Structure 1
Amino acid sequence: MISSDEKIEFLKKLVEIYSPTGREGEAVKFIVESFESFGVEAYVDEVGNAIAIRKGKGPRILLAGHVDTVPGIIPVRIDDGVLWGRGSVDAKGPLATFFFATLESRANVIFAGLVDEEGFSKGAKNLDVPRPDYIIIGEPSGVDGVTIAYKGSLTAKFVESVEKVHGSLGVNAAEKLINRWLEIKSSFGEGFNALSGRIAEFHAYERDFDFYGEMIINLRTPPGYEPPDDWEILDFVPAYQVDRRGALVKAFVRGIRRNGMRPRLKKKTGTADMNILGPKFGVDAVAYGPGDSRLDHTPHERISLDEYLLAVEVLVDVIEELKGTKSRVVEESGDMEIGKGLSW
């Protein structure tokens, strides 16, 4: 067994490597070399993801977390059992949990440390690995929680150009964009099944003979949402929700209970790589990991080391239970396809 001190030291070193989106290379290298030091095959794929493969018993499980963080340096320190640092919660704590669950479970596991999650999810969209039976995404759900749903994310661009008139006359481009935003915002609501969002960028200025304005918005979209046809869509990832009655969710519920806690099933108003990888592979996906998601992206980002260590135990328990389920994916002539006639 790997000691608690080793697990804490790994997480601390990973958090100490500053890896905002687009600068993940050093952290990816650290992860790959760490796997190799434990005798596990690992490599960097074509888009920069860290991939490790652990062959074992049972169905194939994809553990996919992200290496990148939002910008902003928080001095790394351990104070009274709490690790402070950018990415400690979102999402290097969950990623380190996946690292050690891969090593300790001895199951049929693919580990993926993904790049660009805080950007446009280049790592998830281009992930090229054998099709898994189950997907677990590394995001802070709390050690006793499992996330079964995320809202979608829509990024759209609006441009207005108005012929210049005297300032006392007419409506300029900036005002038109503001009115467009207020019209969109009027449909907002609260909760998982409502639309919400923000203005991400806004630029307005005068050119030779016109007023010009540009606005980029990001909306968090509920299940079933379809953007208007006349919008310029920069990126759209639909909402995702897994069936709580499936084997994957049930394994987490039992695993959390076995470790002395009451499980919580969560629906989050953010968006994660779960929205991409679940539909991409056509199998059930949930998100799990230690940490308080309310600290994501804040200058107060920190994680309880006891919670982190317990999350490793929970995840190993879950993987051990999933080893007893039947694979839904079979291989024929080297091709992956959904298995026929298989049941849970």
Structure 2
Amino acid sequence: MAQDFTTLIELVRRYSPSGQEQAAVDYLLGRMAELGFTRTYRDEVGNAVGVMGKGPRQIVLLGHIDTVPGEIPVSLTSLTPSPRPPSPSPNGRGGGGPGGGGEGGEGILHGRGSVDAKGSLAAFVDAVAAVGAVEGWQLVVIGAVDEERNSTGARHLAASDAWHPEYAIIGEPNRWERVALGYKGTAWAEVTVTCPQAHTASGQQTAAEAAVTFWLAVKAHAGAFNTGKPRPFDQLLPTLRGIQSGEDGFSQWARLRIGCRLPVEVGPEGWYAVLREQTSEVLKTSEVSINPLGHPVPAWRGERNTPLVRAFLGAIRAAGGKPGFVRKTGTADVNIVAPAWKCPAVVYGPGDSALDHTPREHISLAEYARAVEVLTHVLRRLTG
């Protein structure tokens, strides 16, 4: 049976940058209800939740429904003609293109979120709908809000008593043949260097110069740590994302905004300790304060030898693919929920992650259909 792309196309049509997810959530809840989910609801922070079945055992498929800003006109480029007329979308606006759903011919869907990560979320919905209710199980699809900012949705889920999955599948684009088993952590800090005002002819190190010295010390530490570690996943990857300086007549200051992608071996507190160690380079002439920013997240690395991973390997092979593993240098909601749920987890989804956040974001409908096939196979194997 040809794959129906209604869920994907209609979800992408609803532009939903972080903080503006309501229309997309409304659509997804209605779509899941239409597809026969046992219950659908919006939780306390705005996540879209759909549950198929009433059993005590859970598999949670967690995607995110928000996107980065930057609306891209939704369009469908046909590569091969559809073998039959497209079916209409639920809202009656027609099918086969961005105005509706449709079945049939291969194409490319352009639009913000088509890859990151509505493709994965829609595939979760379509796969669970294909499997249907299974005795003894709840198949739970969640479209989390705010992933691209502070992961408010995932943090709420991790703290909730409602979820105790035996398996977790997190939706991010890694191509339909690949399973991600690692995401780096992240930590941000604002570093402020202050020193007394001095005449420019004094030769005294300025606050701006001291800040540069501090940053170079941070880079040198990371370089030493990374020696002998060829994979970026295992490295400390600091970046200087902002620098400001000024003076008030009595003192001068410089402020750095520093982020770091963290390996498994270095947690956020370990990184902040590294920053504190580097203050010795500038303390002779300046004062240094280090203030953590936002929500630091440790790295996550999943296990390969689990029933969940084996199910994916078998499903990918059954669909004609050659499965592969990947560890990513980014951070995702899996970093937050996997430690809380303490169950086997993977990250899976169709699409090319190189297109994330770009004006060229698009997804192959053929790849999407293959991902739905893989997910359907996985769910049937795990619940069979």
Rounded to whole Å, the distance in 2 between the matches of 1:85 and 1:123 is 23
1:182 to 202, 216, 220: 216
* Percent identity of equivalent pairs: 41
Partner residue of 1:332? none
Cα offset, 1:84, TM superposition: 1.1
2: CA distance between counterparts of 1:183 and 1:30?
Answer: 50
Distance 1:26 1:172, change over 3 A: farther
Choose the corresponding residue for 1:298, options 348, 358, 376. Answer: 358
Equivalence for 2:271: 227
| CA gap 1:173/1:69 in 2 versus in 1, 3 angstroms | farther
Secondary structure in 2 matching 1:317: helix
2:48 is matched with which residue?
A: 50
- The one-letter code sitting in structure 2 at the alignment partner of 1:18 is Y
More displaced 10-residue stretch of structure 1: 22-31 or 265-274: 22-31
Pick one of 18, 25, 28 that aligns with 1:28: 25
Q: 1:124 corresponds to which residue?
A: 154
Higher mean C-alpha deviation, range 152-161 or range 289-298:
152-161
Which position in structure 1 is the counterpart of 2:86? none
Equivalent position to 1:170, from 190, 204, 220: 204
TM-score, length-scaled by structure 1: 0.88
- Greater Cα offset, 114-123 or 202-211: 202-211
Once residues 204 and 12 of structure 1 are traced to their aligned partners in structure 2, the CA distance between those partners, rounded to angstroms, is 47
Deviation at 1:272, TM superposition (A): 0.8
Q: Is the 8 A contact 1:197 1:219 kept in 2?
A: yes
Matched residues in 2 for 1:85 and 1:170: separation? 54
Conservation of the 8 A alpha-carbon contact between 2:49 and 2:142: yes
TM-score by structure 2 length?
Answer: 0.79
Deviations 1:169-199 (A, max 9, x none): 4333333333222222221445211111322
SS of structure 2 residue aligned to 1:157: strand
2:71 corresponds to 1:37: no
Larger displacement relative to structure 2 (313-322 or 26-35): 26-35
Residue number among 207, 213, 230 corresponding to 2:254 in the alignment = 213
Partners of 2:209 and 2:147 lie apart in 1 by 33
Q: CA deviation at 1:56?
A: 5.8
Quote the Cα distance in structure 2 between the aligned partners of 1:318 and 1:58: 19
AA matched with 1:51: V
Distance 2:127 2:207 in 1: 54
Do 2:7 and 2:126's aligned partners in 1 also have CA atoms closer than 8 Å?
Answer: no
Q: Write the letter of the residue equivalent to 1:156.
A: A
Question: Match for 1:4: what amino acid?
Answer: Q
Report what 2:177 is aligned to.
144
CA pair 68-175 structure 1, distance change in 2 beyond 3 A: farther
The answer for the alignment partner of 2:122 in structure 1 is 96
Counterpart of 1:165 in structure 2: which amino acid?
A: A
Of 239, 244, 248, the residue aligned with 1:198 is 239
- 1:236 CA drift (Å): 1.7
Give the CA deviation at 1:237: 1.0
The aligned amino acid for 1:68 is: D
CA distance in 1, matches of 2:338, 2:170: 10
Moved more, 260-269 or 202-211: 202-211
Q: 2 CA distance for matches of 1:201 and 1:16?
A: 35
Q: Which moved more, 1:159-168 or 1:79-88?
A: 159-168
Aligned position for 1:113: 143
Q: Give how far 1:118 is off.
A: 1.1
Q: Which amino acid aligns with 1:55?
A: G
- 2:212, 2:131 → 1: CA distance? 53
Identify if the C-alpha distance between structure 1 residues 55 and 218 changes in structure 2 by more than 3 Å, giving closer, same or farther. Answer: same
Q: Is the 8 A contact 2:36 2:129 kept in 1?
A: no
Equivalent pair of 1:192/1:222 in contact (CA under 8 Å): yes
Supply the distance in 2 between the matched residues of 1:247 and 1:50 (Cα, whole angstroms). 27
SS in 2 for 1:211: strand
| Aligned-partner SS, 1:216 | strand
Per the alignment, do residues 56 and 191 of structure 1 end up closer, same or farther by CA in structure 2, a change over 3 Å counting? same
Distance (whole Å) between structure 1 residues aligned to residue 131 and residue 204 of structure 2: 67
Match for residue 101 of structure 2?
none
